[in-house]
Amino acid sequence: MEVDTVTSVPAEPVDASTPANLSIPGLCFVEVGRAHAAVYNVSFQVDDEAAAAAARWCKRGSTTDPTASYAVFHLLCLRTSDVQDVVQNSPFASAEAVAAAFRDLRTQWPPRGQLIVEMNSHSAARGTWLPKRLGPDDGPLDVTAHIVSGTNTIRFVQLGGHADRLFTLYVGRPDKRDETSLDGWENWANSVQTRS
């Protein structure tokens, strides 16, 4: 199977040695699913400040420091028809407003067994989500713990056609949806996933 590689392109030329500062809220990339089974990579840049804010969020414990900045990264799978509605209804919206609108859309992964997601397989912050974790009602995928400063890569392994889906990585400040505490099993599973 052939692997496609897609690199997100910034709106303006940027020195390749220095990642661009992310707009928060914002979108790191937007990628339409393939019409057939495929394996493809999407690479994007995260600046030092945003990566540090994500790391602080992951290490915060039960309390947060009101003087610190935090960031969360959520992989969304949206129906292209829902995205088109947002764009058509707000053609002059700011990038931040579009990102917030995308976050508020319902994430709808393909049927279980149709998609595998890998992130940063080249680093200690790698993560893998198997089809068991990615079903139509599973909601956004929190990848905050797997973000690194510099180049990040997400690999999509589509086991069927998903041209009706759009994958996007939302970055924003944490809100009430992000403050739910993980139960013991999820904490353990996340720590094992990060180390393996």
Would you place residue 178 in the very low, low, confident or very high pLDDT band (cuts 50, 70, 90)?
A: confident
The mean pLDDT of the chain is 83
**Average of pLDDT values for 44-50?**
95
* 129 against 190, higher pLDDT: 129
Write the DSSP string, 44-70.
Answer: EEE-HHHHHHHHHHHT-TT---TTS--
4-29 pLDDT per residue, tens: 555 444 434 334 444 456 678 999 99
Write the DSSP string, 139-192.
Answer: --EE-GGG--SEEEEEEEEESS--TTEEEEEEEE---GGG-PPPPHHHHHHHHH
pLDDT for the residue 169: 97
Q: How far is CA 129 from the centre of its chain?
A: 12
pLDDT for the residue 3: 53
Considering only the C-alpha atoms of the chain, give the largest distance between any 2 of them, rounded to a whole number of Å.
49
pLDDT for the residue 175: 78
98 pLDDT above the threshold of 70: yes
Angle between helices 80-89 and 95-104 (to 10 degrees): 140
d(CA 139, CA 133): 10
108-148 pLDDT per residue, tens: 999 999 999 999 998 898 999 988 888 888 899 999 999 99
